[in-house]
Structure formats: C-alpha cells, structure tokens
Structure 1
C-alpha cells in the first residue's frame, strides 16, 4: 500500500495542517438534518475504528469532532517522547495493521501518521470544529437529535440520526485537582496535556504530581533534559518491567492467561518484577493488595510499565515524595511536614469523560464518572440505538473490540428493519 512510504518521519504539525486544509470544505458541505446511518461523536482512534467497521458493512457515518484535526488528544495534548506503551499488534485498529517497518513500540508521530492513513484508507472525513452541546433521544420520532456549535457566536446546528455512537472516550477532559495555595505558588503549574518536553526546565526543580505511566515518563524526560524532578506518590501502584524474557510483559501475560487463572499469572508477574526491579516499597512505591491483572479487571487501574524511571529513582536522580499538604511561594509542604522549593509543578493527574455534560436523558452512562454503567464487556450497547466505543479501560485493543461489536449489531438491526437505516 502506498501509505507505507509516506508515514515514516511525518511531523505532527504537518499532519494537522494537511487535515485542516483537506477537510475544511468537506466539513462545511456536510448535510444538515437527517443523517443516514450513524452519528459518531469523536474523531479519535475509537471513532475512526467505529466508522471504518460500519463502512465495511455498508453503513455510512457522520463523525463530529470538536477539534480541527483527528486524534486531537494524540496530536495536541501529548508529550514529544511518547511511544505506545504496548506492542503495536495490541494497538492496531480493525481492518488495517501497522506498517511492517514500524518498531514494536511506535512513536507518537508514527501513530498519528497511521491514524491519518487509516482515515484515508476508509475515506473517513470527519466534520471538524463541531462541538456537540447536546444529544437526546426523541421517542415520538424514534431518532437522536444531536446539536452542535462551531463557536459561541454561531447558532446551533442540528443533526438527526437513528444510531448514536459515543466515541469521546475516557480522556476527554483534564483532571486538575484543587490544591491549597495554588494561587500563592507563583511558578509554572501545568497539566501534562500542555507538557511537550523538559527542554525549558533544564536545571530546574520540578515536582510531578501523579505516578501513573505519564507521571513516570515525564520524570524520565525531565532527567534527560537535566532538570531535577521529584514525584508525588499518594497511592499504591503496581510497576512492572515493560518486557520480560525479551517479550512484552503485556503480551506474555495475555499468553499465560490462556492456560492459567488470573491470580496465578499475577503471582508470576509480581515475582518477576521483584527479581528485575527489586522491592519497590523501599523506594516509596508500595504495591496494592490485589495483583495487577485483578486490579485492572475490577477497577480499570492500569499498572505502570517501566521504561527506565525506576533506575533513576534508585540512583536518586528522581526523588519520591508523599502527598501534598499545601503550596507556598515557590515551595511545597508535604504531608510529612517537609517543605521543599520548586520552580515548576507538572500535574500528571489524568483525564475524565465529559459525556454527562452533553448526553441527555440516557441511563447508559454514570453521572459520577461519565463511563458506561455496565462493566466490560457489556458496556458498549445502550438503549434506543445508543452505543459507546473506547470506554472499556482496556486501551486501543478494547476500543477495537467495541467498534466491531457495534458494527455487527447495527448491521443486524438494519437488515431486520431496513427502513430505519
């Protein structure tokens, strides 16, 4: 395929520019009113996967995206050194593999280029700059009313459809905690969604709040740029080597689960992690009582896959700190009473769903966290032609499974009642 020759080395800003130019006229020309097929909210990997699977079954879709590019989270809100944390075979979207010349763990730029090629391959043309302000099912006419706005001044535009696919995902909005004294700090405070690299923080004392994969990797990036990071660890966390025996830890775990129960595989992972990483509790990184796979299955909490941060914690280049009591002028007071000066604070505090803010009258999503009420693997289908993709807390693999199930279900319904399509 020709796209294999183009994706390598293409920069993110070029991709954004190309998409905006190519799709601006097409987005303006989208028909207002009844949409044949489905409306998909979100043009990230989940939305693209759903649209491609539906198109393969002859069902058209209109993709609505509030940003001006596809996969805006990946393109605009991730740091430069980011790579996929899982091997590419677990991250490819349905119907199109990664290029064979891509490394096992593709870079951010490579993944974005893959998504661009994916959209081109299936002729997916999202309507960019369309913020969905509300979506509600009208029982009298048996359809969804989806209202969008391009900006605050423009009047709302309305679409009606038989099927609505929510693909805004678990990471739609940044979680920014309220910390006492934030207004007094006086230094740089930013969420990881704004962090690109540590090149502007060389020689600075930086506090990273949050010990998930992003927080750990930002600390590593800061060290690589000669900054002096400290890491706030408030909760327990499982840290596993990214690879064991020359294979990805995730892939090895999935293989073992074919033959062994989850608790046994967890015990194996913890024993190997202890041998390879040592006792992380001595570093201030205490493990939960539940094993990493059990914790993931029950609560969706992802273990950290170490890409080099632990060795820097051991060497003292990264300091581990407890929870924050309050901020002071260019200083932080921790819960253990220690006060330390910092030049900047990076909030690796994650994201949340925004579905409750715009989806009206549906019981499918929880008001508390914006995720489907039904646990995996049953959270993809709701009532009245409502679907969800990318809310499984199982990454791109979970989104691909959702997309295929949704396409099969809509095809089945449309064959039974073709007049509804």
Structure 2
C-alpha cells in the first residue's frame, strides 16, 4: 500500500510537493484553510497579502514550474494570471480532488512512527507530513513609541492588508519599510492619488529596476555563476560584483535624491522595483529616516523632522508563524519568530517523515527553488536519491544554528542550486558545452533542472536555450569581456 502524506497548505509549495510525491508513488492529501488554492495568490483578504492590481516582481520564466509554461505573454504576470496558472497545474496532475479546502489544521503531532493531523473534522494519522503553510502570513510590527495612540483617520495597517490605493486618495500616507511590498505600495499610492507619500526606513537599500537593458533583472542577478562565486570567492568580491551589476543597471539611490546606502550591498540590501526611485527624484515620494515617536497624527523621525499623516502602512517584514505544531515539534526545531532548525530548511534528523517547504526568508523568486525542494523531498522519501545521512543532517543543523542572530535572507539562486544538488538534478557544465554560457550566466529557469538526473526531459535543452535567450541576455556561446573576467576568478 502506498504511504499516505499529509500536506498542510495548497499554495505553490504544497501543490508542487504533492505533484512530485505522486510521481514517486505516494498518496498525498492537501489541507488548505482558505476557500481556494494558491496560498498568497488566492488574493483572499485576511489570508493573502496580494492586492488586486499587484503583478509579480519575478519574471514569467522564473515564476513557473518545469512541467507547465505560462499561457500569457506578460513578462511580469498579474496575480490573477498566477492564480489561474496554479489552478491549471493542480488540474494537470490530478491534485484538485486531493485538496480539502476550508480545513484549518489545529495540531500536527507525532503518533508512533506517523503524524497525527487534527482539524475540525476530526483527526487522521498519516505516514508522513509536509508543512507548506507559507512563510509570509504574520506581519512583524516594530515597537514605536506612541504607535498604539496614532489618531490618523485611516489608522495603521500592514502591507499584508493593503487592498489598493482608492481608500487613500487625497490622503497623507506614511509607508514604513524598504522591502518589495513597501516600495510597490508607496509607488502605487504616489501614482494613483495619495496627496502625500512619505517612506520611513531604518536603512536605505539599493533599488534594482525590474528591467535592465530590456532584460528582467532576476535573469541577471540570480545566476549559477553567483552560486559558484559565493562558494569560492571572498565575500567582499561577491559583494563588489553584485553591486557593480546593480548600480550599472539603475544607478545608486543618492543619485535620485534618496539617502546614500551603505557602500556594501550585503549590508544595505537590495529591493526590486521599477518606479520607486524616479518618483523620489520627482518629489512625489519623500524619504525619511526611521520613526522616533508618534503623537496623535504627528510622526517624528530620527532627524527631528515631523510629518502629519492620515495613515501608516507597515511593510516591516513577517514573523515565522506555525501555530499548529505541537510543543514537542516546536522544541525540537527550536522554533521562534525567525528561525527553524532544519537541514537546508527541509528536514530535521529527530523528526523523520516530516518535511518543511518554503520556510526560508526569500530574496528573489520562489517557484524554481520550491520545485527543487519538493523534488528533493520526494526523491529522498521515494528512493530515487539516497537520503542525507543523520550525521550530515545534524552537521547542517549546527551550521544553521551558528548563523542565528545574523541576517537570514537566502538568495533564490543559492537555495535553488542547494536543493538541485540534493535532488541529484544539478546539470554539469561539462556535459552541456553548447549551453555552458547560458548555464553560468543565464536565468535559473526550471527547464535547466530537467537536463539530467531523475525525471530529465528530452526537450529540456531546447527549452532552456530558448528561455535563456528570450530577452537577449544570453544569445551566443561566446562570453562577454566581463563574463570572461568573472569566470576566470572562479577558476582560480
């Protein structure tokens, strides 16, 4: 009899994990607390941080799984197009009938060698379980003196609860934060009718436009070369190379009238946004340092300046929230608001038969690494690849624990290649000489992880070559002067 697997969450992570578990002969059942599949992409108020006019900040090529291409032509699809894509994906692999909607999991616990799932319909025991409930559902609201007394007409909300600019027409709005959602919303408000938009931030990040020379920026910065450079070059050199690409593509914030970021890209951070910096340059968005205090409708900032505002929108990140895990699992994982002890965000040696999907703090797209993580789980449990030994898992957990207290953002390319190697599907550059440049400096498209290893596809090379060249970034086998210089660095 096939082993039964409970999957908590019917977002992209839950769906792609179910697809690959099915391929390995498991019987997955998906539990979703919302009324639709898609997770964040469902757009359901209270269960999704997606607003009606939002588009992806990752390109169509990198916001897809390897078995299904998008039907749209938009480079950055709308949230409705992503939801439609996920419905097609669920239907394509027979997962729709396996999903229990409107079913919130109240508790996940161990029972013998299996896993007990308790929900409003009762309790069930499964052979294995996967937690794919999402990493970005519980907004982190920082402590600001007087925040709870703010008297602005529209109050304080999180970006998670933003549903469009209409409520803020003619209003003075303060947006807190410098990550993707904060800058997207600030630009949205400045263009679509707010009377005044002020952004307050602890530090200025570098801001990379969605396009650079007609090429989606995630095709340029999330590459396999970036992974190899991270492994063999000094951090300062990796920092320099990334900063060079980003500043060359769109300049530095101070050139637009925003504060100057830290000279180190790694210290400052980077956010992807197409229109924010030009709006700052036009004076349609004002940038302030972080908030010192709030009194009535007045917000005082660290430089002593004050703004009267009608609304505050907090784009200040998310905490890890897995309330259904029982105390024993929580203790084993040493779970807190930020950290979850696991081998490459996936397995813990003291919790055999349990896996986590999508629980790293992302920088860049999720779809490609989610699929690779799902394949690693399915292949490890199904026997297509040798599972990681207990000793290796414990060593990986210790490495993660040693990093607690340091910035936890994981770049998309680092996560993707780590999962691909674990799943045995990372292509060798030597095996694909005609694709070498694309594999090094092109996008980490999902098709390149179907070139070799389990479930390789006969048309993967043709498809990857097309996707790599689609925007002109990698159109020949000859390396550019910069690429030759970079490649020489990692060879030595």
Shift of 1:224: 1.7
Change (3 A) 1:259 1:322: closer
Secondary structure of 2:83 counterpart = helix
Shift of 1:357: 5.2
Change (3 A) 1:268 1:222: same
- 2-structure distance, mates of 1:38, 1:364: 21
The reply on whether 1:184 has 2:149 as its aligned counterpart is yes
Residue 419 of structure 1: aligned partner: none
Residue 17 of structure 1: aligned partner: none
Aligned with residue 123 of structure 1, among 68, 73, 94 = 94
How many residues of Structure 1 are paired with residues of Structure 2 in the alignment?
A: 365
Shift of 1:142: 1.1
Alignment of 1:231-310 (within 5 A): 231-255=199-223, 257=225, 261-262=229-230, 264=237, 266-281=239-254, 283-288=257-262, 290-292=264-266, 303-310=270-277
Shift of 1:289: 5.4
Residue 425 of structure 2: aligned partner: none
Contact 1:242 1:307 in 2 (8 A): yes
The reply on whether 1:134 has 2:107 as its aligned counterpart is yes
Secondary structure of 1:102 counterpart = coil
- 2-structure distance, mates of 1:226, 1:107: 21
Change (3 A) 1:134 1:38: same
- 1-structure distance, mates of 2:238, 2:131: 34
Residue by residue over 1:112-142, the C-alpha shift from the partner in whole angstroms, topping out at 9 and shown as x without a partner, is: 111111111122232122222221112xx31
The reply on whether 1:56 has 2:23 as its aligned counterpart is yes
Residue 355 of structure 2: aligned partner: 387
The unaligned stretches of length 5 or more in structure 1 are 1-33, 150-155, 296-300, 417-421
Change (3 A) 1:289 1:359: farther
Q: TM-score, normalised by structure 2?
A: 0.68
Aligned with residue 278 of structure 2, among 311, 324, 346 = 311
- 1-structure distance, mates of 2:28, 2:209: 41
Contact 2:6 2:130 in 1 (8 A): yes
Contact 2:20 2:378 in 1 (8 A): yes
Change (3 A) 1:334 1:415: closer
Contact 1:392 1:398 in 2 (8 A): no
Contact 1:144 1:162 in 2 (8 A): yes
Change (3 A) 1:254 1:225: closer
Residue by residue over 1:9-60, the C-alpha shift from the partner in whole angstroms, topping out at 9 and shown as x without a partner, is: xxxxxxxxxxxxxxxxxxxxxxxxx995100011111001101111122211
Residue 27 of structure 1: aligned partner: none
- 1-structure distance, mates of 2:353, 2:269: 30
Secondary structure of 1:113 counterpart = helix
Residue 143 of structure 1: aligned partner: 114
- 1-structure distance, mates of 2:378, 2:224: 30
- 2-structure distance, mates of 1:40, 1:360: 20
Change (3 A) 1:111 1:232: same
Change (3 A) 1:209 1:405: same
Q: RMSD over aligned Cα, in angstroms?
A: 2.8
The reply on whether 1:96 has 2:68 as its aligned counterpart is yes
Change (3 A) 1:210 1:203: same
The reply on whether 1:81 has 2:53 as its aligned counterpart is yes
Contact 2:320 2:336 in 1 (8 A): no
- 2-structure distance, mates of 1:323, 1:259: 33
Change (3 A) 1:63 1:314: same
- 2-structure distance, mates of 1:387, 1:94: 22
Shift of 1:225: 1.2
Change (3 A) 1:398 1:255: closer
